[in-house]
Structure 1
Amino acid sequence: MNIAHFVYSLDMGGMERIVVDISKAQRDRGHKVYIFSMTTAEPSFEEEVKEKDIELFKFYKTGGFDLRLFFKIVGLLRSKKINVVHTHNPVANFYGAICARMAFVKAVINTRHGMGNYPYNKKGESIFKFSSLFVNKVVFVCELARKRFVDLKIVSAEKSITIYNGIPQKAFLAMQSQNQGDIKEQLNIIKYKQMVGTVARLEPAKDISNFIKAARLVLDVNRDVFFVVVGDGSEIDCLKSLAEKLKIGKNLLFLGKRMDVARIVSMFDVFVLSSISEGASITLIEAMILKKAIVATKVGGNPELVLDGKTGLLVPSQDAESLSKAVLSLLSDEEKRIAMGNEGCARAKELFDVNTMNMQYESLYEESLR
């Protein structure tokens, strides 16, 4: 198959990571794969796809409707003899799905990578509903999202399906090989007995402010805990200000974007995801593979990944007190942390591998090509 993946951008993020990983998996299976980015691309992702002989097109789209872009994309789809277009999220679907039909591409699949509820964009969802008329199937990354879009009558039940995200587990585990002590020494945090961390884009939907407020409450009980935030985003300055205001700067470190996430997370005693809205979090799956006990908010697809009381603890969103109590309960019970970590790892290996995900997508492609 000649497969073209459409994204709004290929910047650092969970959805973008999925697109790169599934493209690499499809290339390994002998397919010709292309990535069409409406805007830009993260240099590290560019290098990854280049190594796999995956051609990347960047269109540097600016705001508003771009008619010329339609004709450019249609020309490329025809010249590359694309027979499968896979779009990711609404903007990419608007351009990718319509252009695919203009280029007579037979198989057109869209994946919605989130819940579409934070913030809810009525106009945007109306446009998505229209552009979804041009696709064979709309894939959701958790069952709750699929049901929500069906209930809102944005997508029909017949056209919708759920496929969980997956990661390249062997490659990810290989990244944690560096000695943990070396990293702790580099970060100057060897003296702390326990570590709690999160990995996320620093954007409102991830609610890192709640993580910081919970950290303050944990430190009121146990001063030997160190907190780590991995990621970058628009809220970085206000989050640092909040940490200063709550006087936890000595016990909290913002690491920014990191390419060695596996090595960092492998040091955590507890992994936290404090989101207000979430689809199927890649960072949750990564933490599960690393056998980490998890505290996550009970939103979106989190309960479909994390089994409450078995592989982690689920708490209400925007509730720092509940979050801190859950973290403290796990920090005080090593046996429970180990048991939850082992259960979570087994669950992730069974359900959330990139090859499992890719085979389900390839089955959809083949069904649409018939």
Structure 2
Amino acid sequence: MTGRIIHIDTAKSWRGGQQQAAYLHEGLLHRKIDSLMVCPEHSAMALWCRERRYPVQTLPLCCEADIVSALRLARTVKRSGRCILHAHNAHAMTLALMAKLRVKKQAAVIASRRVDFPLKSHSWAQWKYRTSLLDGIICVSHEIQRVMLHQGISENTLRVIPSGIDIHTSDTLKQSPAFREEWHIPTDHKIVCTVAAMTSEKDYPTFLEAARRVIQAYPKVHFMAVGDGKQLASIKALAGHKGLQDHLVFTGFRRDVGWFLKNSDLFVLASKKEGLGTSILDAEAAGLAVIGTDAGGIPEVIHHGENGLIVPRQNPEALSLAILSLLRDDEKRKEFGKKSLDLVRNFDIGLTVEKHIGLYEEILKKY
């Protein structure tokens, strides 16, 4: 493939979208494709790239309409020759389109859409998803594609490429008594884990209420919440109000997520909004039975009754009953976990990278 891929990610923190952008950048470089990451200085992405000596350019990216950053990006494009600007979040999309106005036909612009929210109603948000300057929108699930079509976005603009993971991350990990000792979890307690940012769309209130109901009926259980975010303090306060402190551990942000999944018995994601749910994929790769809601793309990664259960979103009673059913049925839980290992192969990051390369090649032929 001839042409440079310039990824743009404006986030300073590290969440699922950043992991996907990082996977893609790394995958392209390993295939000897010219790839550059553009991100803010002092961001988690900049640190990740520098630790690995991967190509990275930092820009101020002080706001969505950062003209200085857009001009500097345009200069990078002019030095790069023919290229694709791949925006990995909404603010990055604005920056890419502003740069495109300066470089015209030298660069194509594509954007990844990772959330199943409707488009914002204001004119700028509507324009940037409909402008002819945009060459394509990658939807990480069919549900996101459905939402975009409902918003009136042309089907010709949309391409579904599911997010992927390194399905072998947990291969060498094993359950260890040291894990339970570290987190003060009794050996006869089962562990139910969730991995989710502390934000409204992850719906921790439903997760906590379901946990409360489960503990009442099945006391020998511990819940673990792996993640951080702006709602951490209020979520911890709610957990305390519900009296969960003796059965619930908040770990904060962790890079060793596989260690937590491998030592868990069951994985739960209570989201009320979800683009796809890569934390579910990570749990499947660890050989876990999984429970999720019917939100967004979650039903695309959990096969109900095969490797896990789907329950209605924002329904703590249904969620608690699903958790209890699998805690009480060791055979079914293990059977679901084995099936997870089979299903997750469809989401190997290698497949995701190859699908992106195919799209890049299609677009570059037009330039």
TM above 0.5, one fold? yes
Deviation at 1:94, TM superposition (A): 1.4
Match of residue 19 from structure 1: 21
Q: Spell out, residue by residue over 1:67-107, the C-alpha distance to the aligned partner (whole angstroms, 9 max, x if none).
A: 22221110112223351221113221111134135323343
- Whole-Å separation in 1 of the counterparts to 2:315 and 2:60: 40
Q: Spell out, residue by residue over 1:259-315, the C-alpha distance to the aligned partner (whole angstroms, 9 max, x if none).
A: 110011111111000101001111011011111111101010001111111111011
User: After TM superposition, which residue ranges in structure 1, 4 or more long, deviate above 6 angstroms?
Assistant: none
Match of residue 319 from structure 1: 315
Aligned residues: 361
- Whole-Å separation in 2 of the counterparts to 1:128 and 1:316: 33
Given the alignment, which residue of 154, 157, 162 partners 2:155?
157
User: Does 308-317 or 67-76 show the bigger shift?
Assistant: 67-76
- Are the counterparts in 2 of residues 32 and 54 from structure 1 also a CA contact under 8 Å? no
- Classify 1:127/1:116 alpha carbon distance in 2 versus 1 (closer, same or farther; 3 Å): farther
1:92-241 superposed matches below 5 A: 92-100=92-100, 102-103=102-103, 104-117=105-118, 121-123=120-122, 125-130=125-130, 132-153=131-152, 155-170=153-168, 172-174=169-171, 177=173, 180-241=176-237
Q: Match for 2:87: what amino acid?
A: T
Identity percentage of aligned residues: 24
Match of residue 60 from structure 1: 60
User: Does 247-256 or 133-142 show the bigger shift?
Assistant: 133-142
Q: Match for 2:61: what amino acid?
A: K
Q: Spell out, residue by residue over 1:175-224, the C-alpha distance to the aligned partner (whole angstroms, 9 max, x if none).
A: x6365221211111133420101001100000112111100000010110
SS in 2 for 1:150: helix
- Whole-Å separation in 1 of the counterparts to 2:113 and 2:64: 21
1:245 correspondence with 2:247: no
- Are the counterparts in 2 of residues 195 and 226 from structure 1 also a CA contact under 8 Å? yes
SS in 1 for 2:164: coil
Q: Spell out, residue by residue over 1:33-75, the C-alpha distance to the aligned partner (whole angstroms, 9 max, x if none).
A: 2111257511xx4444235432222323234632222211101
Given the alignment, which residue of 342, 356, 362 partners 2:351?
356
Deviation at 1:334, TM superposition (A): 1.1
- Gap regions ≥5 residues in structure 1: none
- Whole-Å separation in 2 of the counterparts to 1:228 and 1:179: 15
SS in 1 for 2:192: strand
Given the alignment, which residue of 266, 271, 274 partners 2:267?
271
Please give the TM-score of this superposition, normalised by the length of structure 2.
0.93
Deviation at 1:356, TM superposition (A): 0.1
- Are the counterparts in 2 of residues 10 and 16 from structure 1 also a CA contact under 8 Å? no
- Gap regions ≥5 residues in structure 2: none
Please give the TM-score of this superposition, normalised by the length of structure 1.
0.92
- Classify 1:291/1:247 alpha carbon distance in 2 versus 1 (closer, same or farther; 3 Å): same
- Are the counterparts in 2 of residues 231 and 256 from structure 1 also a CA contact under 8 Å? yes
Pairwise CA RMSD: 1.8
- Whole-Å separation in 2 of the counterparts to 1:299 and 1:39: 34
User: Does 8-17 or 183-192 show the bigger shift?
Assistant: 183-192
- Are the counterparts in 2 of residues 27 and 52 from structure 1 also a CA contact under 8 Å? no
